[in-house]
Amino acid sequence: MQGIQQHIKLLLSVDVGVKTGLALYSDEVRLLWYRSHNYGNKQRLKQDAAKLINDLPGLSCLAIEGGGEIGALWTKEASRRHIPVIQTYAEEWRNDLFDLKDRRHGWTAKQHAVALAGEIIDRYGDKKATSLNDDCAEAILIGYWALLRLKWLP
């Protein structure tokens, strides 16, 4: 079993910010975990980003939404380890996953993200969704969008 797990490829998706959403998928199209974390400042975020990426030896791709200094922290850590990065912005992945009516306003898009993330958890996750905040929900959707781009979905 352990030998098989070593060959699984992983995708980490991140809704970039000091308040960060994270989701981890396998190439077996399983949503392994999802969570959100408020780091409070960039220094704590930088330390945890490095640790998180180091602690995922099968990490094959990092998908992030956002940019700026905080996005650069994630891309720099991935680049150090030769992990490809898919960088997107909300408008791009929402255009691919949401109907026009669900992406017109930020608050509508965030509500729809939570609902759609719940469906993805039900389909690809091991546990039923409890409560999701929008950062975590968007990380799940960014990951799902990246799975489509990578053609990991059957």
pLDDT in tens, 4-29: 355 689 999 999 988 999 999 999 99
Of these ranges, 5-14, 72-81, 123-132, the one predicted with the greatest mean pLDDT is 72-81
Structure tokens, 142: 């960014």
As beta bridge partners, residue 19 has: 38
Distance separating alpha carbons of residues 148 and 117, to the nearest angstrom: 15
Q: Where do the domains of the chain lie, and which CATH numbers do they carry?
A: 2-150 (3.30.420.10)
Q: Which is more confidently placed, 128 or 87?
A: 87
List for the chain the helix, strand, coil content (%; round to 5).
50, 20, 25
